[in-house]
Structure 1
Amino acid sequence: MALRGKKSIVSRTLGRLSGPTAIGVDRRKHYQYCEEIPPHPTERETMPQIKKPAVRDRILKSADRLFEKKSYVGTTLAAIAKDSKTSIGSIYIYFSSKIEIFYTLYTPWFRTQIENLEKSAAKISSPEERLRHILHVFWYEIPTARKGFSNNLIQAISGAEPGQRSFDLLWWASDRLMNLIRACLPAERHGILSGRVLADILFMAYGGYSINYKFGFPHERIAEAVDLMTALLLGKPVAARKLDPMFGYRIDGPADK
């Protein structure tokens, strides 16, 4: 009878947990470990939000700095929110996910790299040297730029859901790259550019070199790959070379007889 007129410990506890503030705090504590799924909005969060360009820019600058320093995988939305002096909920006003933030940063950066490659290639008159330059920049200079920033792309897309992947940048860059290479080849060699197969090969190597940069892959190995691909594309004989013993095999003797 001593409990008459009083709420039990259980009901008092449930009452505290059922309040909107308590639930909101609990969601955010849990959400720190489940960042890609937005928290259930509170009544305040469902109100129309005014997007401020300054806040968006601050989020992007923080993310850009953290991606370069800690990598895509090593950067959480909580870290971006803290660095940009905002909240995770505020980030979701501007971006649907961490990968969208990354695409927003990577797309203009990568486009600039390809456009700069077009400008530098246009200054080289020799088709063979121009082709070698194109491959060198695409396989070495871009993957190693900004402390291997492109490695973040591999991290991002490897863990992305199908609906989060965009191929627009890939198709755009493939077309520009194939146009650059076509201008270096004699007409009878243009057939190897059909069907995007060559573009797929070049981009797979690009991804591989972006990964290998983090493991200290030697520049000399990329230089050999550039020389080999240049000769193959031009249809020229390939000189024999002895490979580094660390790869477990060697090539001896003339490559063409």
Structure 2
Amino acid sequence: MMDTEQLISGKDNPKIKYIRSLHNRKTAIKEGVIFVEGVRLCEDALVSGFSPIIIVYQDSKRSLVATWLKRFHVFENTQLLCVTEPVFSKIASTVSPQGVAAVFLTPKYITNTDDTRFQRIFVCENVSDPGNLGNIMRSAEAFDFCELILVGRCADPYNEKVLRSSMGACFRLRIRQESSCEEVCLQLKQAGVQLVATHLSGRPLSEAVFKCKVAVFLGNEAHGLSEECSDACDTLIKIPMPGHAESLNVASAAAILSYVLMQEHSLMCTEDQ
């Protein structure tokens, strides 16, 4: 048994009830925390520097948690709750629980517009599907986007479905949420960032000219970008589709755009050398 460990066998324990309540994201947001379940996601959060306030686990995961204690050195104020399998099943949301979960503090990011890495940004407006948002995060991380800005009624970036579909990318990206597209556009323009959006009247992607600092705007799955956002953008582009599909899924479009932008910036770096 670890020094600060508490053993819990009762399903009605107040701490267990509190953890269960965090499945409701409104409650979690009010508390300023994120509930994370599973070995891979918990470790991704720890590696990314997220601060755990509670780790709850079955006895079979005690050695894993002990390894985390030694590896990350961040547990002075962390509650360690060892629970029985029936108790863990009460707080788990997955079909096949792995026997470990954690409650992390939600990070607060402040945009630094002087950051030299501030080159590729996604701005999502009303992207409401958790699976789409998670996949956009995966593309953003894969192609070295430095920030994800969520505007309007986007899915919660720490929704449990987003956490799983992002494969932990949500922990490694700088994410911030804003209410006004107008304010975001103004801030980015003042920082010298090119604002790019997909639009039916845009020029083909292969003809677009990109700057070193680019923000790509992605709209709602059904309705696309609002006029306010698309009108504020400097560059309108479209992805040519010779087939019969009318449109691309927003996450698919994000993957294509992020790859092309990475290539463009790689070429700029090569030309500068």
TM-score, normalised to structure 1's length? 0.30
Higher strand share goes to which structure?
2
Where is the helix percentage greater, Structure 1 or Structure 2? 1
Larger radius of gyration: 1
